A and B are shown apart, each in its own frame.
Chain A
């Protein structure tokens, strides 16, 4: 509870600071607020408190809150030199991101489906504005409109699902829903469509195929910083929400919903990977790769084990930090060359070995090469589904991972093996911090993942 309050208050303070033109104070205020929230996350550890029957800050919620807060913090650090050319309304950026974060904290810790809806909407409405915040840019406008239409549509599905489930069980509370499923041999027939509708609604939010069509356009059109936020932190929160509902409340009906989920997983993997292969634009490639990662993340729901939550945590952490590196370098390259195609990375390693090395490690992690966090994440996901010997699914995922190597290595090839305009990027100090912290996390989780394996 303290976490949400802190983040909301920070958001208001930052908004007023912006009103009084205190531009220099924005970042320090935000950082202080987020660090305080992070402190509350640690102090609530193992507390397992239930707040008004609406939210439960169990370790699952706290661990995901922690990742979201750290991820947001890193993204805020990337604002250095980012805004001055683009907008006067910096405070709005800060405030909206903070509001979205508050919504996400609700999404990862809800105990009542009403809170899921409220959290999701707080987050989504902030993101609709953020995607279109560059008012004079057509791509940004398009992104915002598309995101809004699709988002509203999917919220409709979600709400309808919630309604049906309420009709069947008479409650929004996750524990009561689970108790209903456990105690009743004959589950009400309206419960089943409710589950499917909620699955569709949440798949929209996390960008899983075949509900992914908004992702590439929105990711490409939105300002890069917002894309970073959407594809990392927002996605993580979406999965936590997904998991909380399906791995917990709906677990007794696993046999029913695993078949449609399997279809979603296979489509997501295939479409994400194969389409990413044909992209000429690095940002769009990342958008499609984020779809494919959604596929791997959903592996944790195909076979429910006691480790499912933790597996998602590890994978999401690996994916988040690697993506933050990728987007940070993308922003730098785009500032310099004005383009985000693969060609603009040519020869980057010659003048900027550090930046190139960081991006290489990030790509290796996204591709799932050992000694990086991405490998541990993929390994856990494979292990998870192998416990029921779903070998065909793993074989399919391996084939997709092979496709992944091609497009992740394309940027490595461009940086190290090709000659290009050997321009030196100006790397602001905060970017260096973000890159080094993210690389450190990626490598530490890859080499010694024991620190994160038993968190939840």
Chain B
């Protein structure tokens, strides 16, 4: 129990100390983020891979309103907790070649956001979940709006209002469930046990789904995403794409499916159709992008579309695929954005046609970039393959046409990613790239770590699959059982 509290609040303590640390904020925040990673690994080692909720904390918080500080970890949460605590130190290390103004605030906000994310990923109380959901949003808004690029104020306002609109409707859904719950509390188990008819489930489904769909983002709720990713500082983009988007996916798995299975049953088909439209649409737009950062942003929409389709297909393969792919996508997309950040910091552009021939002058960067790109396009032997294979299998079991169209993502992805790689790294060096210097120091450390993870998880994904298997199995049984009682 103490371990979990420590896990959640260590980054918050780190944020406060970092805020007061002045010039040494970079080092202080690194120390805290690495300590959080170690703590997460300790928890993972002590975790027994069955379906139970472990390290549970249940403290009264606002007793009069039925709100408890109730959190715990099962296989599904552990995966995203590990992802979060792995990526935050990587993201902080990746910022070492930047000199951000007021670094204390910058790093404190990252750590503050980490606490919000961990609350979301461990909360077993809907109110706590909501608090974490918003607590993660505020810091990233400030990160993107203070340290972002051109037109950042307008773009981030759009992002903020979009996401908070979704979450306010989710809050309305949460209040509704709370009032339906005879015990008048926000306990997730009590929410699971509610007997709502299918009309009620339908509208609760929408209240939650819109919030999650905006966060992921699923077509047609994605319009905030490309601009926000492009205008954000590199670390902001990594936080958004690597971790924050998983909040939406995790929300669907943890809250949407088990609480309103009949709603998912009625509307899930629409969600799959939207996801698949998103895959094709985003891939097609990615083809035409001239800016590499924007291209990766659209490719992220396509990948998330596949994850979401796999979840709503609602079978073991799809769900397990979503689990693995959450981890892989987090690692790969952070790697991609980091490489683009390295390129940008040297030549001040991410325009594909202005680049070229970097491989000649920076061989190490080009190899690392290649591995990450291959991971992203799901080459067998990389981490991306396992996830996408399982996801496609899940979608195939749902419907062969859905799988056929969703499978396009792999082909499309390979085409536009490799073409981007070719144009940026290969060919002749030009006046801009001739002076390009290869990666060094922390850049090496970060990129090599990411490459190692891509290959290790690709060759031997069993530990990850094993970690989540029992929990996923349990979730599916629970939902199916509940569906049978409703029908």
Residue numbers in B under 8 Å from A371 (CB-CB): 131, 134-135
Task: Report the separation of the CA atoms of residues A453 and B64 in the bound assembly, to the nearest whole angstrom.
Answer: 7
| Nearest chain B CB to A297 CB, angstrom units | 18
A118 at the interface (CB under 8 A from B): no
Chain B, interface SS category: helix
**Which of B157-165, B191-199, B409-417, B427-435 is near enough to bind chain A?**
B157-165
Assess whether B164 is in contact with A402, with CB atoms less than 8 Å apart: yes
In the complex, are the beta carbons of B153 and A413 less than 8 A apart? yes
Q: Does A386 lie within 8 Å of B153, measured CB to CB?
A: no
Q: Is A166 an interface residue (CB 8 A)?
A: no
Quick one: CB contact mask for A408-444 with B, threshold 8 Å, 1 for yes? 0100010011100000000000000000000000000
User: Complex Cα distance A165/B131, Å?
Assistant: 46
Q: How far is the CB of A75 from chain B (nearest CB, A)?
A: 29
Q: Could you say which of A251-259, A331-339, A391-399 contacts chain B?
A: A391-399
Q: Kindly state whether residue A449 has any CB partner on chain B within 8 Å.
A: yes
Do A382 and B171 touch (CB < 8 A)? Answer: yes
Residues of A contacting B142 with CB < 8 Å?
A: 416
**A370 and B115 alpha carbons, distance in the complex (Å):** 14
Identify the closest chain B residue to A409 (Cβ): B157
Contact between B62 and A450, CB atoms less than 8 A apart = yes
The 0/1 profile, CB within 8 Å of A marked 1, for residues 163-182 of chain B is 01100110110011011000
Residues of B within 8 A of A370 (CB): 130-131, 134-135
* Interface residue A454 (Cβ < 8 Å from any Cβ of B): yes
Chain B residues within an 8 Å CB radius of A405 = 160-161, 164
A-B pairs under 8 A by CB, number: 68
Decide if A369 touches B165 in the complex (CB within 8 Å). Answer: no
Q: Name B62's contact: one of A369, A394, A409, A453 (CB within 8 Å).
A: A453
Interface string of A344-364 (1 = CB under 8 A from B): 000000000000000000001
A398 touches B168 (CB 8 A): yes
Question: Please, which residue of chain A has its CB at the minimum distance from the CB of B148?
Answer: A417
Q: B81-138: which residues lie under 8 A (CB-CB) from chain A?
A: 130-131, 134-135, 138
B70 lies within 8 A of chain A by Cβ: no
- On whether A406 and B135 interact (CB within 8 A), knowing A398-B172, A401-B168, the answer reads no
Please report the C-alpha to C-alpha distance between residue A398 and residue B164 in the assembled complex, in whole angstroms.
10
- The number of chain A residues touching the other chain, given as a range, is 20 to 34
Residues of A within 8 A of B135 (CB): 370-371
CA–CA, A440 and B145, complex, Å: 26
| Contact status A417-B145, CB under 8 Å | yes
Q: Please tell me if the beta carbons of B61 and A450 are within 8 angstroms of each other in the complex.
A: yes
A325 to chain B, nearest CB (A): 18
Whether A386 and B176, one on each chain, are in contact in the complex, defined by CB atoms closer than 8 angstroms, is yes
Is B44's CB within 8 Å of the partner chain A? no
**In the docked arrangement, what's the CA distance between A371 and B168, Å?**
15
- A48 an interface residue at 8 Å Cβ cutoff? no
Answer yes or no: B183 CB below 8 A from chain A CBs: no
**Which residues of chain A are within 8 angstroms of B168 by Cβ–Cβ distance?**
398, 401-402
Contacts of A416 in B (CB 8 A): 142, 145-146
Smallest CB gap from B165: residue in A: A402
- Contacting residues, chain A, for B152 (C-beta < 8 A): 417
CB-CB < 8 A to B160: which residues of A? 405, 409
The 9 lowest CB-CB distance pairs between A and B, nearest first, are A370-B134, A398-B168, A453-B64, A386-B175, A370-B131, A450-B62, A417-B153, A402-B165, A417-B145
A–B pairs, 27, beta carbons within 8 Å? A369-B138, A370-B135, A371-B131, A371-B134, A382-B172, A383-B65, A386-B179, A389-B176, A391-B176, A394-B175, A395-B169, A398-B165, A398-B169, A398-B172, A401-B168, A402-B164, A402-B165, A405-B160, A406-B161, A409-B157, A413-B153, A416-B142, A417-B146, A418-B153, A448-B61, A450-B64, A454-B64
